[in-house]
Amino acid sequence: MARKYQQTKRAAAQEETRRRIVEAAIKLHQSKGPAATSMRDVAQEAGVGTVTVYRHFADDMELLGACSGTYFERHPLPDLEEWATVEGSEKRFRHGLAAAYAFHRETEPMISSVIDDLRGSPVMAPYDGYWQAAGEILLAAFPEPEQQDPLLKATIALALNFETWRLLAIHQGLSDQHVINLMTRLLSDCR
């Protein structure tokens, strides 16, 4: 009986160490980016040895995967099924952008720190895939012939893009509503 208790206690301690490592990595990735964060940095921030970090995570990619999983559990992506219930192309477009921009604003410190470092990385594939699916949900609200228009597809992709939003909202100081209005005007011009 005592042996089982010790195993449970050890497992809990290992899980707590793993949690501290992931939290440390998230903090460092947000403050200085993944490319500038070494396993040694993570170990120091977590208060463990570098060997302990490698015992829990074989390499940077495994740690990045754990970090992104934890981060997106805390900051869930907007519900695309809910977007699909909004009738009317412009109404769905504006609704989707409002949700996308609220998400971009909430996650801007992290995404700004990691997007350049991880562009094209397998760890970004689910994030990139989500935004592609978001574009398809918005496009599906348009009449069939318009859905084939490359200009319409490009406008939707541009409007959903984090870097577009960051340029206009953060660097140019526009409110999210102003960015939505600007993107809607661009959408109207391409139709």
Domain extents in the chain: 2-73, 77-190
What pLDDT does residue 58 have? 93
**Is this model's pTM higher than 0.85 or not?**
yes
For residue 4, the model assigns a pLDDT of 56
Q: 18 vs 15, 53, 54, 107, CA distance in Å?
A: 5, 8, 10, 23
Q: Are 111 and 117 in contact (CB under 8 A)?
A: no
b/e burial code for range 73-112 (CB count within 10 A of at least 16 → b)? eeeebbeeeebeebeebeebbbbbbebbbebbeebeebbb
At residue 176, the pLDDT reads: 98
Q: What is the mean pLDDT of each run of 10 residues along the chain (191 residues)?
A: 64 87 93 92 94 92 92 96 97 98 97 90 92 98 94 97 98 98 94 68
C-alpha distance from residue 8 to each of 5, 21, 90, 147 (Å) = 5, 20, 55, 56
Specify the pLDDT at position 91. Answer: 97
Structure confidence by residue, pLDDT tens digits, 142-155? 999 999 999 999 99
Tell me how far apart the alpha carbons of residues 24 and 125 are, in angstroms, rounded to a whole number: 23
pLDDT on residue 17: 86
Helix (H) or strand (E) holding 3: helix 2-32
pLDDT for 111: 94
Calculate the alpha carbon distances from 143 to 82, 87, 93, 191 in Å. Answer: 20, 12, 13, 11
CATH class of 2-73: mainly alpha
Give the pLDDT confidence score for residue 11 in this predicted structure.
Answer: 80
